[in-house]
Amino acid sequence: MISLISSLRGHRWKILSTIAILLAATFLFCYSLIVTDWVGTPILCGITIIIASLQLIRTSERSNENFAQFLNNIAHEDFSSTTAHSDGEQSTQQFIHAQKVLLDKYRKLKADRTAQHQYLHMVVEHVDTALLCFDENGNIAIINKAAKDLLKSRQISNLAKLDAINETLADALRLLKAGENRVMKVSIGASMYQLMLTATEFRLLDTEYKLVSMHNIESALEEKEIESWQKLIKVLTHEIMNSMTPIVSLSTHLEGMLTEENIGAGMATDTEQYKDIVSGIESIAARSQGLLRFVQTYRSLSNLPRPAPVEVDIENLIQRLATLLRERFEACKVEFLYNVEPAQLTVNADLNHLEQILLNLLSNAIDAVNGREQALVEVTAYLHGHGNVVIQVRDNGCGIPKSYIEDIFTPFFSTKDTGTGVGLSLSRQLARLNNVTLTVASVEGEGSRFQLRFR
């Protein structure tokens, strides 16, 4: 800045001295013509006037050209060279130096701005929450990787294209107000999500923008739902156990009293009345014991053992399960395939819990494809996103009706005639204990896909 001021001062004194010479030559030219009869003086003064005028014009044009070129370079972000030509004059050298300083400053500011933009872009891309930013015309300015994964699309340039994915979600984004939170259930592809939408609005370069975060709260809702079911099961089992224990005890006692040794003289053992009493008491005892076993079975849903995490080799685990279920695969004529990529993929989880989850999923898959032609059950394990492990169990069976998708993880709910409704509920609870998310996607008539996502 000091060099630029010095340059401008030097340039000003040069112009002033040229003007002074021009004025003196003009005065002398007029004086010699009017007052004296000198011949040579007017000629010399005229030449001096012409030279001084040309010098002023040349200096002014050069300054204007240099400054205009300097501004043009900045406008086009050209930092490769200065605009003034080195002619040996101190003012020009100072102007060149000032240009270099300004260009260096501008170049640094531009580099800082680019670095900040790249940093913010990387931050937005790597956050787990889906972010979507669009203007008042619906044109999408920012969409991060999490949002693309959620919407299962790589190319979304405006909300009109989002209508084709889920029109309800697109309308919700348009109507969402700044500071408003909205929870909604949406279906994207074959998957169902519970999303919480939060919006904020801002103005940038005379354009209004709306930034919406889409957070999948399914895991949090599942956790609360499981806790509620566990509390309900504890209450039910407690009450049923309190009621059934004396019934079982009493029926057993009565059955013992009606033995042949304890029968009074008024009732013979070969009468229909005696046989009906014995049969009824036996039925009470059997049903009560069956109900007691039923309650003890479901009590396990609310008393799961705490996990003991170890490093589990996924491929080795799948091979053990394949050996265990080999007879069922062969009996149902099911082709079983598995693929683990990379081959040495491991997870940190309770081995018994993980084995029980996969065993339940594979058993359900076998039931789903039983009787179908070219029946297939496939297990794949791979890395997804930021290094998270995913284990997927897929079948080409009958699929799950849409009306049942929301209920299949509910305790006691089953789509099978002989099902107990424990397997999937137990699997989800075991998954949650190991910090794993269990999700399902299914198309009726085409098959189902269950995924375990390790966090």
**pLDDT-derived band of residue 295, with 50, 70 and 90 as boundaries?**
low
- Tokens 């984004």, residue located: 173
Q: Which two tokens stand for residue 9?
A: 């001062």
* Res 177: pLDDT: 85
Structure confidence at residue 238 (pLDDT): 58
Domain ranges, ordered by start, for the chain:
2-109, 127-216, 221-302, 310-454
Q: Is the pLDDT of residue 210 over 80?
A: yes
pLDDT of residue 276: 63
Which residue carries 């939170």 as its tokens? 181
pLDDT mean across residues, the chain: 76
Asked whether this chain's domains 127-216 and 310-454 adopt the same fold, the reply is no
**Confidence band, pLDDT 50/70/90 cuts, at residue 4:** very low
On whether the CB atoms of residues 291 and 236 are closer than 8 A, the answer is: no
Q: Report which listed range, 49-53, 233-237, 256-260, 407-411, is most confident.
A: 49-53
State residue 141 phi and psi, 5-degree precision.
-90, -35
User: What CA dihedral angle connects 272, 273, 276 and 278, to 10 degrees?
Assistant: -110
Give how far Cα 143 sits from Cα of 103, 159, 189, Å: 34, 11, 19
Give me the long-range contacts of 160-169 (CB less than 8 A, separation at least 24): 169/195
Cα–Cα distance measured from residue 96 to residue 82, given in angstroms and rounded to the nearest whole number: 6
**Fold topology of 127-216:** Beta-Lactamase (3.30.450)
pLDDT band at residue 75, thresholds of 50, 70 and 90? low
At 307, is the pLDDT very low, low, confident or very high (cuts 50, 70, 90)?
confident
Structure confidence at residue 273 (pLDDT): 62
Q: Hey, what amino acid is at 86?
A: S
18 contacts: CB under 8 Å, gap ≥ 6? 52, 55, 56, 59
Q: 310-454: what fold?
A: Heat Shock Protein 90 (3.30.565)
Residue 232 vs residue 44, higher pLDDT: 44
- Distance set, CA 57 to CA 229, 312, 325, 419 (Å): 92, 85, 98, 100
Number of Cβ within a 10 Å radius of residue 177 = 10
Confidence band (pLDDT; 50, 70, 90) for 432?
A: confident
Residue of 135, 124, 118 whose CA lies nearest to 205: 135
To the nearest 10 degrees (0 to 180), the angle between helices 314-324 and 351-369 is 50
What does the pLDDT look like over 173-195, one tens digit per residue?
A: 888 888 778 887 787 776 777 78
Per-residue pLDDT at 1: 47
How does DSSP classify residue 393? E
The answer on pLDDT for 81 being more than 80 is: no
What's the rounded Cα separation, in Å, for the pair 172 and 194?
Answer: 14
Under 8 Å between Cβ of 449 and 443: no
Higher pLDDT, 3 or 170: 170
390 contacts 381 by C-beta, under 8 angstroms: yes
26: three-class secondary structure by DSSP:
helix
Note the pLDDT of residue 418: 58
Q: Average pLDDT in the 226-235 region?
A: 62
Tally Cβ neighbours within 10 Å of residue 226: 20
Backbone angles phi, psi at 454, to 5 degrees: -90, 135
Which tokens sit at 43? Answer: 């000629």
pLDDT over 70 at 420, yes or no: no
Closest by CA to 197, choosing from 180, 174, 175, 221, is 180
Amino acid, res. 165: I
What is the per-residue pLDDT for 240?
64
Instruction: Name the burial class of residue 298, with classes exposed (0-12), middle (13-18) and buried (19+) by CB atoms within 10 angstroms of its CB.
Output: buried
Q: What is the DSSP pairing of strand 346-349 with strand 310-313?
A: antiparallel
221 vs 28, residue with greater confidence:
28
Distance from C-alpha of 5 to C-alpha of 193, rounded to nearest angstrom: 65
The confidence score (pLDDT) of residue 451 equals 92
Given a cut of 60, whether residue 113 has pLDDT beyond it is yes
- pLDDT of 365 > 50? The answer is yes
From 11-15, 208-212, 307-311, the region with the lowest mean pLDDT: 11-15
Element (H, E) at 228: helix 218-257
Q: Given a cut of 70, is residue 414 above it in pLDDT?
A: no
Tell whether the model's pLDDT for residue 452 goes beyond 90: yes
